[in-house]
Amino acid sequence: MTDLSRRLFDELESLVLIDPHTHINPHSPASKTLADIMGYHYYTELAHSAGMPKAYIEDKNISPKERVGRLVEKLGDLSNTIQVSWLMEIVREFFGFQDDAITAKNWEKLYDNALAKMQQADWEQQVLKHSKLEGIFLTNDFDDPLEGFDTKKYIPCLRTDDLVFHFEKPATRERLAKATGIEATSAELLRSAIGKLFVHFKKKGARACAISIPPTFTPTKVGSGDAQKVVELAAGGKPLSADQSAQLSQFVFWTLAEFCTEHALPFDLMIGVNRRVYEDGVYQGQDLFDKRVSLLQYKDLFNAFPKVTFPISVLGTTSNNELVSYAWIFPNVVTNGHWWYSNIPSYIEIDTRSRLEAVPRTKQVGYYSDMYKLEFALPKFRMYRRILAKVLAEDFVIGRGWSETKAVEFGKQVLRGNVETIFKV
């Protein structure tokens, strides 16, 4: 890092954050053992990719400690990955680890030290404070009661994949009926049920509706007759053709967007993931993408819902040029973080540079952690802050003669300010 980048980084590091997308369980937000950290799918899938059998990793008969011991066997082959650099940053920052690598020789001591720390009563608070985090968006199932936690700190978000893509499954319909008291046997009843979910989530302080979407999906408005037909078929447990399934998904999706208008909720779209591409992959390590996807598929949606803000994440850097362009033209399209297969420094840097110079500064959510356990916010946001500091230094302070103060203000807006204004936190 140059001195300039370092100064900007230090300023950005001082900022207290709201993390606008995570998978945190608010009833158990911090890790209990190192297995919670090393069990993150990034490590299990990379260990498996490097040759460790799935059964060895996912063996249900082993203790958390044994699981960590097994994963450590593969860390050497993964030492180059940015994901393992997150792990190293976690163990250094939180557990005082000082060796160069986690190995067969030192992992047990690390495990025990970590355990002792995590068993402290205020571990969650320690992590939040050390990570400078004061708000954390959740990813809640549509039937989540949203009770038993501080919804100011752990902010609900209505996740809708199941409704849009799995309404045909009896389990989904049962959960919906149970959550809303409505048997969604017609298009109108389904709409009513969904409306109830929105009321519930809004009452509990939800700040977004969210969904992840396969590259093949194109949202559009379905005629009421067609909608009625496919809902009835699905509700009756009848098989749907591929076209009918797509219509059903489109109808539910469109209905969600309508309620987002009504309830003034941003609709986070995470575009491009194909589920279960690698069928024998580890848990959460089976999904990949097809870069033959275009935001043009969202033309109808963006035009039809001018009052809904769509914070958009794309799975590949290959989609970033489109995302920048669509956010530059559509008032309701906002760039949102760096997702999954584009969440590595080389791609974050390219994508950040283009966004910072071509999308209105009010329309960029710089980063979210996507984490399952609190300890990951620190290394992931720090990775982003390093890149952000570098881009601000090179492209704005040096490239355009901006003052450092002005550059830091821009960085803070992208890191935090826009989260507040866009999600009305």
Site residues (CB under 8 A) for its own copies, limited to 391-410: 395-396, 398-400, 410
Please choose, out of 55-63, 148-156, 161-169, 271-279, the segment that lies near its own copies by the rule CB under 8 A: 271-279
Our finding on whether 245 is near its own copies (CB under 8 A) is no
Which residue has 């037909």 as its token pair? 229
Nearer to its own copies, 377 or 407 (CB): 407
Size of the site for its own copies (CB under 8 A): 75
Residue selected from 12, 34, 35, 46 as contacting its own copies according to rule CB under 8 A: 46
Question: In whole angstroms, how close is the CB of 17 to its own copies at the nearest point?
Answer: 20
CB of 180 to its own copies, least distance (A): 35
Binding window for its own copies (CB under 8 A); candidates: 114-122, 174-182, 218-226, 274-282 = 274-282
Residues 283-302 that bind its own copies (CB under 8 A): 285-296, 299, 302
Q: How far is the CB of 115 from its own copies (least distance, A)?
A: 27
Using the minimum distance from each CB to its own copies, give the nearer residue, 5 or 33.
5
- Indicate the length of the chain as a whole number: 425
Residues 202/265, Cβ–Cβ less than 8 Å:
yes
Residue 279 contacts its own copies per CB under 8 A: yes
Q: Which is nearer to its own copies, 141 or 394 (CB)?
A: 394
C-beta closer to its own copies: residue 28 or 284: 284
Considering only residues 229, 353, 382, 412, which one is a binding residue for its own copies as defined by CB under 8 A?
353
Site for its own copies in 355-394 (CB under 8 A): 356-363, 386
Q: Binding of its own copies at residue 342 (CB under 8 A)?
A: yes
Contact between 149 and its own copies per CB under 8 A: no
- Least gap, CB of 19 to its own copies (angstroms): 22
Q: Are 54 and 281 in contact (CB under 8 A)?
A: yes
Residues 150-179 that bind its own copies (CB under 8 A): none
